[in-house]
């Protein structure tokens, strides 16, 4: 098992990194370094490049590997890089996993196979085979509002007992489904919330932390929120989360990461560009998000 990550250490806040790119679609090395500098010392437990927020499907294979390599270079040496693998088929997904492992990833966040509309048996067999052959520990990525297919709780219960599957990113917004999942997974399997908007509820129900989009912007705030929840101070955490709702509403008002990239110059990352087919967000939305982020950053400064 990789020394930086295990099911026991897969807890806390992990930013779901956006991918800074230049106008011609290449990863912006200077902006990646700036983003990592912003996250440094914030209390995060690792970083997750190349998920949906990281525009995996729009980036070239070589640039995906380059992003992972740069994140590994600039992230604290003791923190894990969990690289997304969002291919719809086994062979491309395995090739991607091996390439990202070679680039410096410590674990792979593997998406539910989609488009082919597999049965639950097919999903089970896919993840078991992937875990058997993967060069790195696997974190299951379930996000049915993108893939149009959910993983049955009983399948997740079985998968959670594979020695090379250490956890999951849970983006299923059906709370009863979530409750059934956490009720039956192995005791050493870490469920992470994949929804900024639901993280306190997920943690109250058994999640060990979260992979959080807006932690790109306000990582210290999210770590403080996590600490409250880990200490059982749920009401304080809910109040704090309520204060973040305007920011979340604006950040997700158009396809992520468009709004976030429009304002992350406020955190020292000067890379507003998106990869096709995404386009720059509405200027009015960007202006309102800028104002809200300025207020959140001012509040975050008080946490230092």
Report the catalytic residues.
141, 169
Between CA 153 and CA 304 the distance in angstroms is 40
For residue 45, give both structure tokens. 């437990």
Between CA 298 and CA 296 the distance in angstroms is 5
- CA 159-71-267 angle, to 5 degrees, is 115
Q: What's 264's DSSP letter?
A: G
Query: Are 14 and 210 in contact, with CB atoms under 8 Å apart?
Result: yes
Q: What is the largest CA-CA distance in the chain?
A: 50
Q: Assign residue 281 a region: left if phi > 0, alpha if psi is -120 to 50, beta otherwise?
A: beta
Between CA 123 and CA 113 the distance in angstroms is 7
Distances (CA, A) of 19 to 171, 217, 288: 20, 13, 22
Which of these, 219, 222, 218, lies nearest to 240 by C-alpha position? Answer: 222
For residue 227, give both structure tokens. 């600490």
Q: What are residue 226's phi and psi, to 5 degrees?
A: -60, -45
Query: Are 115 and 83 in contact, with CB atoms under 8 Å apart?
Result: no
Between CA 146 and CA 135 the distance in angstroms is 26
Between CA 254 and CA 77 the distance in angstroms is 34
Q: Assign residue 69 a region: left if phi > 0, alpha if psi is -120 to 50, beta otherwise?
A: alpha
């Amino acid at each position: 098992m990789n020394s930086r990550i295990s099911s026991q250490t897969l807890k806390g806040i992990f930013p779901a990194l956006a991918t800074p790119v230049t106008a011609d679609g290449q990863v912006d090395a200077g902006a990646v370094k700036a983003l990592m500098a912003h996250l440094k010392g914030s209390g995060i437990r690792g970083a997750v490049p190349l998920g949906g927020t990281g525009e995996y499907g729009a980036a070239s294979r070589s640039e995906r590997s380059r992003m992972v390599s740069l994140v590994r270079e600039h992230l604290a040496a003791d923190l894990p890089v969990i690289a997304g693998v969002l291919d719809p088929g086994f062979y491309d997904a395995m090739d991607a996993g091996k390439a990202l492992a070679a680039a410096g990833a410590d674990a792979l966040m593997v998406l539910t196979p989609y488009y082919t509309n597999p049965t639950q048996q097919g999903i089970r067999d896919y993840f078991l085979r992937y875990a058997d052959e993967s060069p790195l520990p696997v974190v299951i990525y379930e996000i049915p509002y993108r893939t149009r297919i959910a993983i049955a709780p009983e399948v997740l219960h079985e998968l959670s007992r594979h020695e090379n599957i250490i956890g999951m990113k849970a983006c299923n917004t059906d709370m009863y489904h979530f409750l059934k999942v956490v009720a039956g997974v192995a005791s050493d399997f870490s469920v992470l919330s994949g929804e900024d908007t639901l993280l306190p509820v997920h943690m109250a129900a058994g999640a060990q932390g979260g992979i959080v989009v807006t932690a790109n912007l306000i990582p210290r705030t999210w770590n403080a929120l996590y600490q409250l929840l880990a200490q059982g101070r749920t009401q304080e955490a809910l109040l704090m989360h309520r204060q973040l709702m305007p920011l979340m509403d604006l950040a997700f008002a158009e396809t992520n990461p468009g709004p976030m990239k429009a304002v992350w110059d406020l955190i020292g990352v000067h890379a507003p560009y998106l990869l096709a087919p995404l386009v720059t967000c509405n200027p009015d939305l960007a202006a309102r998000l800028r104002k809200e982020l300025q207020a959140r950053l001012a509040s975050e400064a008080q946490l230092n």
